[in-house]
Amino acid sequence: MGEWISFLDSQLVELLAELDTSRTIACINNTNFLQMVINPLRAPATLSCEVVEKILQLLSLPLSLVDRASRDYCLFINNILSLDIVQLIIHALQSPELETGGMQEILVSFLQRMIFCSGGGALDAASQLSTLDAASVLSAMDAASLHVSTDFFNRLLISPDIDVRITALAILLKLTPMLSPSQVPDLDLLVGLVAEEEDPELLEKSILCLVALAKEFPTLKPGIRVPSQKFKVLCAPLINKLKS
């Protein structure tokens, strides 16, 4: 482990020197090297917090110091997204071994930066997971709300995994006040959840999202509707819960 830390330290020094002299990141900007660097994240239970922190430092420097309009920057983003970095970070957040030493905050901070810097690419990657850790994704959303796309929500809302759909609704409810009309998901999908689903949590969040979106975007209307009597029956438990 000590040799690996020394290697990461030497790469940080080399990268800083290259950034200082030429503002480029050629020493790390290839998929073979990046694959080697992030591979330890595939088994977070075997890692120390120090190793994870140094890996993320190395990956974060280009996001902070390279011109976002440059070819180097675009290539770097594409390279690390192609290596499933978002999935690895989300999985690492679920590792009990990395709950100490402030690592949760470091991992969430990196995930926030990835979502923001990738212009939505990291969110697209997250939406393709078979399961999502809601706390991990929600913690990372604030810094990246402007990059959430309609497709991101739509993909999550049609997932066969109920936990993914509930996570999507929680994200949507949280971000509704910050969204533009072009970022709103297909309202028919939400109406469909209300009409067809039976899970109480899914129904509650679907109804809350429809109400919040109707308030925020009164000109947007779904193409299908739940019969008014059925909607009242579905809403009754929620209304009683809110009153209590």
34 inside domain = yes
116 inside domain = yes
DSSP-derived letter for residue 27 is T
pLDDT for the residue numbered 223: 77
Does the pTM of the predicted model rise above 0.75? no
Is pLDDT of 242 > 80?
no
3 inside domain = yes
Helices then strands, each counted (H, E), the chain:
13, 0
Q: Which of 75-79, 106-110, 189-193, 239-243 is least confident?
A: 239-243
The mean pLDDT value for 174-190 works out to 86
Do 205 and 170 contact (CB within 8 A), yes or no?
Answer: yes
Do 127 and 98 contact (CB within 8 A), yes or no?
Answer: no
Rg (CA), the chain: 21
Is pLDDT of 62 > 70?
yes
Q: Which of 144, 146, 170, 147 is nearest to 157 (CA)?
A: 170
45 inside domain = yes
pLDDT for the residue numbered 128: 55
236 inside domain = no
Tokens of 160: 């066969």
CA angle 123, 138, 110 (to 5 degrees): 65
Count CB atoms within 10 A of the CB of residue 10.
10
Is pLDDT of 94 > 60?
yes
49 inside domain = yes
pLDDT for the residue numbered 58: 92
pLDDT for the residue numbered 75: 92
pLDDT for the residue numbered 69: 85
> How many domains would you assign to the chain?
1
Tell me the average pLDDT of the chain: 78
225 inside domain = no
Percent share of the chain, pLDDT over 70: 77
Q: Which of 2-16, 34-48, 49-63, 143-157 is least confident?
A: 143-157
Q: Which of 236, 128, 206, 219 is nearest to 180 (CA)?
A: 219
Q: Which of 102-116, 130-144, 190-204 is least confident?
A: 130-144
Q: How confident is the model at residue 34 (pLDDT cuts 50, 70, 90)?
A: very high
Query: Which domain, by its residues, includes 99?
Result: 1-127
157 inside domain = no
Do 114 and 158 contact (CB within 8 A), yes or no?
Answer: no
